[in-house]
Structure 1
């Protein structure tokens, strides 16, 4: 979730297919937008067009991995459950709304309902290294945050990290002098530098304690700015997911009868 040079961001998806899948899954994903490019967020930075339908059970399939890996994933992912109107059903095999593949050195996930666009392969990759349980759990919670629809907090529209861009580029084997069409240059820009557009989102104050925030090492910035690795869900993480996946209110329940 943080400073792994070989961790790739979400694969590109067709925006129209992404929109259609999200609205079919949960009509509320349309939010306040009158068009397909408008995005809305609340209590964190995330595209509202990719939330699963509240109240549903997400089937989560393990494509591989030993039992210790699977147990550790379940334990970490379950930290989200007290804050969402969802259930997780972990299964074996290839049939699942979310499909996890164990792959050394990689942490990655599709964002929310974009997982529905992947019909065969994994929708989430998790490294099986369990030597640092706290780090592993934090990465799992981070990737499940993505799987539930959250974006990266360090890309908050009002974030103003004093990046030492050349240091970050060099860490990933690229350079500020590389062409902007360079694959790794684009990956670094997308991962660290390309903030969400304030004109396209509604957002609340930046949360440096979010599980969706990368660790920012001081040598990656100018001055003394740094963000330590967040190992647990923040209060704003919990509030955000509670709003994204609400339980029915008594008023709504009465209206449905």
Structure 2
């Protein structure tokens, strides 16, 4: 497959390597795109005390139409990329709509030779509208189908919010890298030690991304040759979606899910459930007059309740783990006029369960 098969993405990948100010802007855009891109997870510290970790995700709004436009490239190459990219629609509740003109969230170029890369999820919104958010540096009309599948499936995984599998928090310590050999190997591709550290050895923090158990079969996993590891350990080229890829992305973009539900202070409680592992339910309500509001969950499910706002879906105003009855959550807060959102998740990412949610105004 040529000399480019040694890697999938360039050492600098938009959306994975950003300056602080760009990261701040990216977080703001992500939180406006989808309220559960900002989540609170209770963590135990010390002698039973609880603190919160805020997760910053890059997922698109579930059910969204993503407009995709080619900036350049040969028609036959564009056609193969389009066909393979559309496979993601079977995994994620998104429509990938290729357009010839007008506004587009994802813009594809072939101009930067030797490297392929993509922004990660909503980080595409940080890129000027005239510039590419994705690049394929070595795809040609004669490139083998398996190479198209490997690279296009991988880069569109980034575009929908996935990270490199070897940088999954659960991958820490799982690959026995021979570091001197890795540095020497990637130096032949023009990577310096900082590039290798950032793109190969570093893993994401637990509280910065959705992730599954480490999956060496993931389409997002680089090949790991035995020559770059200590002992006998290797991962081959992955060209198909693994079962974990499929389950994971279906959970991030589930089908047949109701949009953000409306709640009313003093209105009836809403009976609902967390039907799938990792699900986050979102609710919207408005405050017309200042007052103290009591927000609660009820039922057998161990819930975490987060209050967002005012008028900013990405701002975490308050959260609670178990101040309600049993394992339920309860937030009491004085609120001023504006729009607010509540999100509910199970305390254990792998668990599900029924609950009800309601809001009342303290007399």
TM-score, reference length from structure 2: 0.60
Match of 2:145 among 133, 157, 165: 133
Structure 2 CA distance for aligned equivalents of residues 186 and 223 of structure 1: 25
1:97 is aligned to 2:105: yes
Cα distance change of structure 1 residues 2 and 156 upon mapping to structure 2, 3 Å threshold:
farther
Q: State the superposition RMSD in angstroms.
A: 2.7
Please point out which of 47, 50, 54 is paired with 1:38: 54
The counterpart of 2:7, out of the listed 1, 4, 7, is 4
In the alignment, structure 1 segments of 5+ residues that lack a partner are 40-47, 175-182
Structure 1 residues 122 and 254: alpha-carbon distance in aligned structure 2, compared to 1, 3 A threshold: closer
CA contact (8 A) 1:6 1:105 kept: no
Task: Give 1 or 2: higher strand fraction.
Answer: 2
Which residues of 2 match residues 203-222 of structure 1 at below 5 A? 203-222=211-230
* Length, aligned pairs only: 238
Q: Distance in 1 between matches of 2:133 and 2:249?
A: 20
Q: 1:199 to 1:121 in 2, by over 3 A?
A: closer
- Render the CA deviation track for 1:77-118: whole Å, top value 9, x for unaligned: 112111111101112247310000013321101110000000
The structure whose residues are more often helix, as a share, is 1
Return the alpha-carbon distance in structure 2 between the equivalents of residues 168 and 135 of structure 1: 23
Partner of 2:299 in structure 1? none
Contact 1:138 / 1:232 at 8 angstroms: preserved in 2?
yes
Call closer, same or farther: CA 1:36–1:64 in 2, change over 3 Å.
Answer: farther
- Give 5+ residue unaligned stretches, structure 2: 43-50, 263-363
TM-superposed deviation, 1:203: 3.9
The reply on whether 1:224 has 2:232 as its aligned counterpart is yes
Q: Deviations over 1:113-153 (max 9, x none)?
A: 00000013100001323422101221111000000000111
Match of residue 167 from structure 1: 181
Higher relative contact order (CA 8 A, sep 6+): 1
TM-score, normalization by structure 1: 0.83
User: What is the 5 A alignment of 1:1-257?
Assistant: 3-4=6-7, 7-11=10-14, 12-13=18-19, 14-32=22-40, 38-39=54-55, 49-93=57-101, 95-103=103-111, 104-119=113-128, 120-127=130-137, 128-129=139-140, 130-159=142-171, 160-173=174-187, 184-198=192-206, 200=208, 203-249=211-257, 252=258
Q: 1:61 to 1:6 in 2, by over 3 A?
A: closer
Compared CA separation, residues 108 and 253, structure 1 to 2 (3 A): closer
